[in-house]
Amino acid sequence: MLDLGDIQRGVLGPRPSPYAGTYLLLRIHDPVAGREALKRLTPLIASAADLTSPLGDAWLAVALSYQGLKALGVPQASLASFSPEFQQGMAARAAELGDVGANDPNNWEQPFGTPETHLALAVLAPDQTRLHAVLERAQQALRALPGVTAIYRQDCASLPTGREHFGFQDGISQPAIEGTGIPASNPQEAPLKAGEFVLGYGDEWERLAPMPQPEVLGRNGSYVALRKLHQDVAAFRRFLAHHATSAAEEDLLAAKIVGRWRSGAPLALAPERDDPELAADPKRRNAFLYYDDDPKGLKCPLGSHIRRMNPRDHFKDEIVQVNRHRVFRRGQAYGPVLPEGVMEDDGAERGLVFLFVGADLRRQFEFIQREWINQGTFIGAPAERDPLIGPNDGTGIFTIPKQPIRRRLQGLPQFVTMRGGEYFFMPGLKALRWLAELDP
């Protein structure tokens, strides 16, 4: 049984739609103040049992970086029990993650990539009014605590278009997790074991992922990877316009790159033309697999974003264990929409705050980033990268399987650039109380 009352709602709770969100990063200068901050914040955090929390359908989630746990005074033996990637922090993992060139941590916004980021607060709500109410309570809890200071703030909000910045419906496909009661977005996929996402439970191999110690600290916690990703919308539009001879062809190429039409209708079920009715039907729009229906990617290219990120049953007879590399993700848009038809960048900051939540940073998030985003060996095209979010450099290639001959889009630039990120640990509520009461 999942102890939903101890798991933060921020781990499993579905994102409101529409949404408004704020991320605050804080620095702990003084361990006593840091622990006091946790003591005051914990009662405000909604649990996963509370899908309608005491604060309405707006909630606060709290997570700590490795440096943050250190700043609180967590004992060395416990610090050493966290996963090595988490201990190193995201910037130190740049080589593994392909965060080089424009994505290099030296180019990140401060304080990302520095040891200053200790505590992250996330507030999510269906609208600005409810967001401000929760944020105000969280800020109130931190008042008169000079040993804890806010050093970064990122506001997010659903765009007036209802889509992400490149114009696509997002947040459709999510793995179902046993014991949560949240219905599967794909009725053809069995729910995954809770231990893939929350520590202290059996995973897909009936094993327990390594858990930070003592148990009260690790149990019901999850690792989180936060990445602030800038989107170059004008470059995406220019690329489509350059390779297409009509607006309809532009829409098709965009769909081939993502694997879904902008409406959200999947190519796997609507390969020839968009199907807004299908896109609007939550029971059908994610109800597909690839192996029997589209083994060669003639409908949904093997290299498209969604097929890379979740190849589903594509490797049925092979050793690639797709379910060992699933991600529970959250994305929230920031920045203004680039008006329709504008083909030159206006210099505004816009993009997505991407969050991965899971039990194993290396096996899940880092694997996907390294093997499935940054290269294409697994689809038989080692030189190809994710066409939407991969670190392409103007010479990238995207292959669209087609009969009688495939089509190759050349000259892919980089559409998405890292602005900064960090690894966090999102403890269970008992663990937060244990941290607040530490007496080192």
Give me the least distance between CB of 225 and ligand HEM, in Å please: 8
Residue 153 φ/ψ, nearest 5 degrees: -140, 135
Cα separation of 399 and 391, whole Å?
A: 16
Residue 45 φ/ψ, nearest 5 degrees: -85, 130
Residue 370 φ/ψ, nearest 5 degrees: -75, -50
Nearer to ligand HEM by C-beta: 53 or 186?
186
Nearer to ligand HEM by C-beta: 148 or 279?
279
Please list, in sequence order, all residues whose beta carbon lies within 8 angstroms of the beta carbon of residue 74, skipping any fewer than 6 positions away: 217, 435, 438, 440
Give me the least distance between CB of 346 and ligand HEM, in Å please: 18
Q: Is residue 424 helix, strand or coil?
A: strand
Nearer to ligand HEM by C-beta: 11 or 431?
11
Cα separation of 375 and 386, whole Å?
A: 7
Using only C-alpha atoms, what is the Rg of the chain?
21
Give me the least distance between CB of 415 and ligand HEM, in Å please: 8
Give me the least distance between CB of 150 and ligand HEM, in Å please: 25
Nearer to ligand HEM by C-beta: 38 or 235?
235
Nearer to ligand HEM by C-beta: 45 or 416?
416
Cα separation of 39 and 123, whole Å?
A: 18
Cα separation of 259 and 262, whole Å?
A: 9
195: tokens are 């231990």
Give me the least distance between CB of 351 and ligand HEM, in Å please: 6
The DSSP-derived string for 215-236 is HHHHTT-EEEEEEEEEE-HHHH
Give me the least distance between CB of 103 and ligand HEM, in Å please: 11
Give me the least distance between CB of 305 and ligand HEM, in Å please: 6
Cα separation of 332 and 228, whole Å?
A: 10
Nearer to ligand HEM by C-beta: 10 or 200?
10
Site for ligand HEM, rule CB under 6 A:
164, 166, 168, 170-173, 229, 231, 258, 260, 305-306, 309-310, 327, 329, 351-352, 354, 356, 368-369, 389, 416
Determine how β-strand 222-231 pairs with β-strand 59-64. Answer: unpaired
Nearer to ligand HEM by C-beta: 99 or 203?
99
